[in-house]
Structure 1
């Protein structure tokens, strides 16, 4: 049986780890490296937030897991574990192996039983992670060797209590939206920014707080959440791209809408948009991460039609 002191250490460790991540990632705007995660300190002792060899981290100070990890997998390769949404729209996290009594699986079961907040590290690149927290394990599905992960937070910032899997169409749509907002969109952004070396592909601005991952083909049009369907753009160029003020040709050259080129509206318009006409995009060095030519062509056709 746990003592009050053990419960206090557990509460404090989780709170300090998440506060440390707030500072390290600028409240989720930046990714964090494996090296950085290995240097977290608690009560004067180094306490890595991820395990060097496996996906489930339970420090010796705790009886329950502190974090889970989904490793980065290159497009076209098979992930070692398939952490995907279920029919209810909620995410799943796989057991370690098939033994329900493995110590890691027991550590996750303890988190689930006590409703403890957990940190989920999702790979953005080799050795680089996007941190999603707090998440909560709300159920176990033993036959599928997995736990159900809720990404929902209440207004207080604490994880909400899970009552029943969402079943109706509105509930499923809500769960899907929550998953996109707290998992898919931030992970997509982290992976795109990592591939573009945290730099706007057009103007080369390098402040991560001012950078977005712009979709070439939108989600609503069947766009896939892969780096090849994204562009790292600063907020002004992202907004201009979405509004068809700025277009990108299939040969990666930027165009600015003709009427905008002839406007006179101060230095922001001049230097931020008009002078970008004719600039060639700076793209990732890895060929698999470069913008997909067919997606660029389709998106450029929309720009031409709107212009």
Structure 2
């Protein structure tokens, strides 16, 4: 139904194309570390290639197809706040694979560039908006089908997805496998970075600022159908407080006050319990600056009730 399947074509004379892709991805591997995995828009626009500025993203469009290159180089998803959309719902097809929409009319040169990337089987970079002007890069990714009737392409996040069936007739096992990869490779990293950025790389309880020791905790767990990967369903917590929150050792009231379980307050142990847990009781959490990023009150209340039920069990 309007789906073209990928056929890798060997192309001669594409030396510039391959050099740019290799240089850009090598730079991203060096630039984006576990401690600092995101990249600014001005860095992408100012990328230097063989002594000249060679932007990796377009100034106005979501698809970057540089002049002189045989195919599209990158795609970009602009940041939108939780209230502006349902996270990811419109980007995943019935086969569990991600979709990316054409830019304008099908014959637009950027869409032609996407088709060429598909035909040639060349890798691209996908820059996913974490906050305005800040992106989490995914690379390499591949265009594995063109769905002309829907004005979109399907995107593989890794080699495993490149070999999956691309249509609605896939088996349940194939769809679940594709969805799991999509969740692990895109949804979870994007959720983590959006939450940590919203809380300015700080534990909302103890103010610890070491990124490697911070988690993006769900208020309503992601195994629950309502546990959406939205910042308003997330909290930036250090690993100790994340574990304590998940184990109902402490909870957060709907008015943003931390409450430690009564039996835990009565325990006598070492300095971690005293200073790291017990002294949190009654303190307010730190909230994101943007109201749209702050914890959803209804979700907090539901989670707090679960904590109270455990407290009085």
Answer whether TM exceeds 0.5 for this pair.
yes
* Equivalent pair of 2:142/2:156 in contact (CA under 8 Å): yes
TM-score, reference length from structure 2: 0.87
Q: How does 1:40-119 map to 2 (within 5 A)?
A: 40-77=47-84, 84-98=91-105, 100-119=106-125
Aligned position for 1:120: 126
Distance 1:96 1:115 in 2: 20
Distance 2:149 2:118 in 1: 17
Q: Which moved more, 1:70-79 or 1:88-97?
A: 70-79
How far residue 264 of structure 1 moved from its aligned partner, in angstroms, is 4.2
Tell me if 1:24 matches 2:31: yes
Q: How does 1:1-307 map to 2 (within 5 A)?
A: 2-4=11-13, 6-7=14-15, 9-27=16-34, 30-77=37-84, 84-98=91-105, 100-154=106-160, 160-165=162-167, 167-221=170-224, 222-307=226-311
How far residue 292 of structure 1 moved from its aligned partner, in angstroms, is 1.0
Residue 172 to residue 2, structure 1, CA distance change in 2 (3 Å): closer
How far residue 120 of structure 1 moved from its aligned partner, in angstroms, is 1.0
TM-score, reference length from structure 1: 0.88
How far residue 272 of structure 1 moved from its aligned partner, in angstroms, is 2.4
* Equivalent pair of 2:82/2:232 in contact (CA under 8 Å): no
How far residue 10 of structure 1 moved from its aligned partner, in angstroms, is 3.0
Distance 1:246 1:153 in 2: 42
Residue 118 to residue 83, structure 1, CA distance change in 2 (3 Å): farther
> Secondary structure of 2:223's partner?
helix
How far residue 29 of structure 1 moved from its aligned partner, in angstroms, is 5.6
Higher relative contact order (CA 8 A, sep 6+): 2
> Secondary structure of 1:220's partner?
coil
The alignment covers a number of residue pairs equal to: 299
Please give the per-residue CA displacement for 1:183-217, whole angstroms capped at 9, x wherever unaligned: 11111222212221221111112222222211111
* Equivalent pair of 2:46/2:53 in contact (CA under 8 Å): yes
Please give the per-residue CA displacement for 1:129-172, whole angstroms capped at 9, x wherever unaligned: 12122211100000000001112345xxxx74445547111211
> Secondary structure of 2:202's partner?
coil
How far residue 265 of structure 1 moved from its aligned partner, in angstroms, is 4.2
> Secondary structure of 1:273's partner?
helix
Distance 1:167 1:122 in 2: 27
How far residue 223 of structure 1 moved from its aligned partner, in angstroms, is 1.8
How far residue 39 of structure 1 moved from its aligned partner, in angstroms, is 2.6
Residue 284 to residue 137, structure 1, CA distance change in 2 (3 Å): same
How far residue 285 of structure 1 moved from its aligned partner, in angstroms, is 2.0
Distance 2:190 2:62 in 1: 17
Distance 2:32 2:90 in 1: 23
Distance 2:47 2:245 in 1: 39
Residue 138 to residue 245, structure 1, CA distance change in 2 (3 Å): same
* Equivalent pair of 1:141/1:148 in contact (CA under 8 Å): yes
